[in-house]
Amino acid sequence: MDSIIDLFSEQLDVFHHEMVPIMSWIIYWERTGKDPSLDNINMDHLFDFVNGQIIMKNNPDRALNAEEYIHQRCFIYYDNNVDITILSPNLMTKTGLKSS
C-alpha cells in the first residue's frame, strides 16, 4: 500500500509542476483583462497516463506545445514574447512546489 501512496504522491507532484506554466498564463490573462474560455481546455489533450505515470503530451491536439494549445483553445493570441516565468516562482511558492 505504501508504494501506491508513494507513486500517487510522486505523480501528483509531477502534475502540479506541469500545471504551473498553464496556471501562470491563466493568471496573466486575468490580470490583463482577457476573457479566456477555460472550459475549452481538455486535460486529456494535455496529459496521458503510461504505466502509472502522468506524462505531458508533446503536441496536444496538434499544437506545438501546451502553451500554444491553451491559447488556441481559449481563443487568445499567443504572444511568445510575454515572459510568464515571473509568475511561476510565486505560484510555486504559494502551492508548496519546488522548482526543478
* 8-59 residue pLDDT tens: 999 999 999 999 899 999 999 998 999 999 999 999 999 999 998 999 999 9
Domain borders along the chain are 2-95
pTM equals: 0.82
User: Greater confidence, 95 or 8?
Assistant: 8
**Within 10 Å of residue 34's Cβ, how many Cβ atoms?**
14
Please, are residues 25 and 70 in contact by the beta-carbon 8 Å criterion?
Answer: yes
What pLDDT shows up at residue 100?
Answer: 47
